[in-house]
């Protein structure tokens, strides 16, 4: 390789890194976390499924502070099919819920509504099976509304309030603009967008891709 070629490569590297860093630091670029199907459980349901006094074991910290993927998985039994090992996210919550994609919902024969996490009224129930017992959830099966976790300082820079809707634009051959993305603003959050696997695959996205926030339309 001669000196001119070296110079050209050096320039490409500098420009690419600059571009990546600029995107990373720009307040309207948000990093993507793709949610595979997962469960949140009450301490009571954890003990029914895994035994009296059982507490979840942290396998891996998630980006949102205090949240983690647990070592524990459970079997979920639907009307027309099962999921053998659904990951539980910790810590325990006041209500149990399972978040799946519409593709997942169809595969086990359940009609899950698209709603905000925690808004369980009217969602269907399902059967959970752990090594020590079964839980028959009366409600809690949902497809999560696409959303962004946003710390207060970022929200202020972008002029966004809690519960506002925004659009998020991707790039590439499957370029997609996701509208009605719910902004959830709190200083307890790390800046991160959550899509489910259907949404991420529809746009050909990978975990940790950077996406652009634009006004809702």
Applying CB under 8 A, the residues found at the interface with a second copy are 101-103, 106, 114, 145-146, 173-180, 197-199, 201-204
Closest to a second copy by CB, 95 vs 116, is 116
> In the complex, what is the shortest distance from the CB of residue 70 to a second copy, in angstroms, rounded to a whole number?
22
Instruction: Identify which of 207, 185, 184 has the alpha carbon closest to the alpha carbon of residue 195.
Output: 207
DSSP 87-125: EEEES--SS-EEE--HHHHHHTT----EE-TT--TT---
For residue 202, the minimal CB distance to a second copy (Å) is: 4
CA separation, residue 77 to residues 64, 74, 134, 139 (Å)? 29, 10, 10, 14
Closest by CA to 117, choosing from 161, 86, 149, is 149
Q: In angstroms, what is the minimal distance from the CB of 180 to a second copy?
A: 5
Distance CA 87, CA 128 (A): 12
Shortest approach of a second copy to residue 106 CB, angstroms? 8
CB 170: neighbour CB atoms within 10 A? 21
| Closest CB 102 distance from a second copy, rounded Å | 4
Which is closer to a second copy, CB of 68 or CB of 178? 178
Shortest Cβ 178–a second copy spacing (Å): 6
With residue 32 as reference, give the H or E element that holds it: strand 29-35
Query: In terms of Cα–Cα distance, which of 99, 87, 204 is closest to 147?
Result: 99
Among the listed residues 73, 107, 102, the one whose alpha carbon sits nearest the alpha carbon of residue 90: 73
7 Cβ partners below 8 Å, 6+ apart?
none
């Amino acid at each position: 390789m001669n000196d001119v070629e070296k110079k050209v490569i050096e320039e490409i590297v500098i420009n690419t890194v600059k571009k990546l860093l600029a995107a990373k630091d720009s307040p309207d670029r948000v990093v993507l976390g793709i949610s595979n199907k997962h469960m949140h459980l009450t301490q009571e349901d954890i003990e029914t499924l895994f035994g009296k006094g059982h507490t979840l074991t942290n396998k891996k910290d998630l980006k949102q502070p205090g949240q983690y993927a647990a070592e524990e998985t459970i079997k979920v039994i639907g009307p027309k099919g099962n999921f053998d090992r659904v990951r539980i996210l910790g810590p325990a919550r006041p209500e149990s819920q399972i978040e799946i994609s519409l593709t997942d919902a169809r595969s086990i024969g359940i009609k899950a509504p698209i709603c905000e996490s925690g808004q369980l009224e009217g969602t269907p129930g399902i059967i959970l099976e752990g090594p020590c017992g079964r839980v028959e959830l009366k409600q809690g099966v949902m497809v999560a509304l696409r959303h962004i976790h946003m710390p207060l300082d970022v929200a202020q820079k972008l002029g966004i309030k809690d519960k506002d809707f925004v659009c998020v634009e991707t790039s590439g051959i499957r370029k997609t603009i996701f509208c009605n993305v719910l902004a959830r603003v709190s200083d307890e959050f790390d800046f991160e967008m959550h899509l489910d696997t259907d949404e991420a695959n529809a746009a050909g996205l990978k975990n940790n891709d950077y996406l652009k926030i634009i006004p809702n339309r």
